[in-house]
Amino acid sequence: MSLYDSIVITGAAGMLAHALKRAFKARRLSFNAVARREWDITDPPQIELMFEDYQPTLVLNCAAYTKVDLCEEKQAECNDVNGTAVESLAEICRERRAALVHFSTDYVFDGSLSRPLRPDDPIGPQSAYGRSKLLGEQLLQAKAPERWLLIRTAWLYGPNGSCFPQTMINAAKSGKPLKVVNDQTGTPTFTYDLAEATLDLLDRNATGIWHITNSGETTWFDFTRAIIEEFNLKTDLSPTTSAEWKKLKPNSAIRPAYSVLDVSPYEKLVGKPMPHWRDALHRYRLALETP
């Protein structure tokens, strides 16, 4: 049995799942992609059934509760999808000797360091979303399938889903003035690049925790400026602070002030740099323009 004999992608309607499907298609690898309506990962009998049907050798779990602000009020639901369900998946993958790839977030860090974060740096999520994703990380490692890969990424965007650039484009087109925080630093990451890097890691038999984002760093404000420029839009854009934003939206989640992830272990492994976030944004525009 080889790793790629029977590939299953969960959360198939999501942004990252779309990019993984594209990457597997480009390699002429067949896969089964299952969306929530066919396979709800919080329902263990459904997980069992899926394993009976597909006998996966590799599961890529793209299912997640990703509405960061809403997680603050829907903590139970968020913990079910991002935490407990990951434990069930890990358990069945261990029993059936399937490899499991799971994705997590820079929001497991508290943002107090000011240099790129390594996989073994201290964690300290500041939001319900971050805590739920950390729970998933911990439960995955506790069940530890024979082969597992935990990939933390950040500020993810791509076609086929609602994401920050699309929100900014829509807002700019509607003529609304935009205020965007300028005191949170991270790295926007294009789903296509994350999908390619995931396959690179699998090809090289990598296991354990990896950080994958585009390279470089920016703030949400500067990212927005780049989006406006890339899409040739005109808007009234001004910076604000996290504190001001919190006053305006008291129910919003706290995000780390600094959450740039250190991608150098990946770059060393594959012998090539991750594409820069600005270059990735340009390719995102081209992807949107290509049917």
d(CA 156, CA 241): 21
Cβ-proximal residue to ligand NAP, closest one? 14
Q: Which residues of 1-22 are buried (b: 16+ CB within 10 A; e: fewer)?
A: eeebebbbbbbbebbbbbbbbb
Q: How far is the CB of 2 from ligand NAP (least distance, A)?
A: 25
Q: Which of 20, 47, 60, 64 binds ligand NAP (CB under 6 A)?
A: 64
| Residue among 261, 210, 25 at smallest CA distance from 101 | 210
Q: How far is the CB of 131 from ligand NAP (least distance, A)?
A: 12
By beta-carbon proximity to ligand NAP, the closer residue of 2 and 218 is 218
> How many Cβ atoms from other residues are within 10 Å of residue 37's Cβ?
8
Binding flag, residue 264, ligand NAP (CB under 6 A): no
> How many Cβ atoms from other residues are within 10 Å of residue 256's Cβ?
26
d(CA 235, CA 224): 10
Binding flag, residue 284, ligand NAP (CB under 6 A): no
Q: Which of 20, 58, 60, 62 binds ligand NAP (CB under 6 A)?
A: 62
- Tell me if 226 sits within 8 A of 278, measured CB to CB: yes
By beta-carbon proximity to ligand NAP, the closer residue of 192 and 245 is 192
d(CA 122, CA 120): 6
By beta-carbon proximity to ligand NAP, the closer residue of 40 and 110 is 40
Q: What is the DSSP letter of 41?
A: T
Binding flag, residue 56, ligand NAP (CB under 6 A): no
Q: How far is the CB of 21 from ligand NAP (least distance, A)?
A: 12
Q: How far is the CB of 175 from ligand NAP (least distance, A)?
A: 26
Binding flag, residue 103, ligand NAP (CB under 6 A): yes
The tokens 């000011």 sit on which residue? 114
One-character DSSP codes across 189-228:
EEHHHHHHHHHHHHHTT--EEEE---BS-EEHHHHHHHHH
Residues in 125-184 that interact with ligand NAP by CB under 6 A? 133, 153-156, 161
- 107 noted as active-site residue: no
Residues in 12-31 that interact with ligand NAP by CB under 6 A? 13-16
Q: Which of 7, 23, 33, 41 binds ligand NAP (CB under 6 A)?
A: 41
The single residue of 65, 107, 129, 266 carrying the catalytic annotation is 129
Binding flag, residue 94, ligand NAP (CB under 6 A): no
Neighbouring residues of 50: CB distance < 8 A, sequence distance ≥ 6? 8, 34, 39, 56
Binding flag, residue 89, ligand NAP (CB under 6 A): no
Q: How far is the CB of 166 from ligand NAP (least distance, A)?
A: 11
- Sheet with strand 58-61: strands edge to edge: 31-34, 7-10, 58-61, 99-105, 148-153, 208-211
For the chain, counts of helices (H) and of strands (E): 12, 12
Binding flag, residue 11, ligand NAP (CB under 6 A): yes
The tokens 């049917």 sit on which residue? 291
By beta-carbon proximity to ligand NAP, the closer residue of 157 and 245 is 157
List residues near ligand NAP by CB under 6 A: 10-11, 13-16, 36, 40-42, 62-66, 81, 103, 105, 133, 153-156, 161
Which residues carry out catalysis? 129
